[in-house]
Amino acid sequence: MTAERSLEIITEQIERSRRTVSKSIGQSLYVAGLCTMGMAVVVTIVNLLILTLGYSPIGYLLWFALPVIIWAALRNIHKQSDSASMSLIGTLVGKTWWTFAVLVLGFFLLANIWNKILALSSISPMAYIAHHVSILPIIILLMGMAVSVTGHILKSKWLVWFGIIASLMVAIGHYAGLGTMILARLGASPMMVSRAEVVFPCLSVFFFALIGLILPGIMLKKERL
């Protein structure tokens, strides 16, 4: 066997392994997207019910359960997978999303603590608006970064740009308050606008999970990336 033929065989095996891992990663992204979308719906319903009763929308705390739910679902799905499927590519993608989960949970916890301290202090509403931490845009940008890094690892330019564009659209839209601004322009009541402020963050996460996780997951499973 010539050196050229040996190199060709090795290249084919690497490519075959990459496709196998891509399908596995695609399934993981798909499951994570479904869990995230489902949690977004649950958090929205809980917040609306609590808000109707006159309490603060503390349903956002349910997001802390999402990583556990995703981990349990993926472990149940991949429990029969052999160790060979854990290649370098799969390990890199897994570490990327593990880092994302740690950063998001840590940021979510610390930002909520800071905002709670501000809310309990005697500062004015304008001062609170100026100094509070806007949580959703940062989380969405981190999520987009994780999707893009996954695309780089899998050598998928489409997935790279998908994560960047989707995260920028959602983050900027939230910062600009496009949803509530449109409702106000349409003459919505203050109560409807107030409830929309609870719905839109979860709707944004739902939207990004759909275009940033579900769609790439389906395409990876079908080897279209």
How many C-alpha atoms does 46 have within 13 Å on its Cβ side? 14
Q: Which helix (H) or strand (E) holds 213?
A: none
Residue with tokens 């997001």: 63
Alpha-carbon radius of gyration of the chain? 21
- The dihedral of CA 156, 217, 109, 169: what is its sign? positive
Give the C-alpha separation, 219 to 211, whole Å: 11
pLDDT at 84: 44
- pLDDT tens for the chain, residues 1 to 225: 565 656 665 566 555 555 666 677 778 888 989 999 999 999 999 988 887 766 667 788 888 899 889 989 888 876 755 544 456 666 777 788 889 888 988 998 899 889 888 888 878 878 877 788 888 889 889 988 988 988 888 778 888 998 899 889 888 888 877 777 777 777 776 677 667 777 888 888 898 888 878 887 887 777 654
pLDDT at 83: 46
Segment 125-138, tens digit of pLDDT: 788 777 888 888 89
pLDDT at 69: 92
Segment 94-115, tens digit of pLDDT: 788 889 888 988 998 899 889 8
pLDDT at 3: 59
What pTM did the predictor assign?
0.74
Domains of the chain: total: 1
Go through the chain and tell me how many residues it has: 225
Give the C-alpha separation, 133 to 183, whole Å: 24
List the domain range (segments joined by +) for residue 155. Answer: 3-221
pLDDT at 34: 94
Q: What are the angstrom distances between the C-alpha of 102 and each of 17, 33, 36?
A: 28, 17, 16
- Tokens representing 56 are 């603060």
- Tokens representing 78 are 């991949």
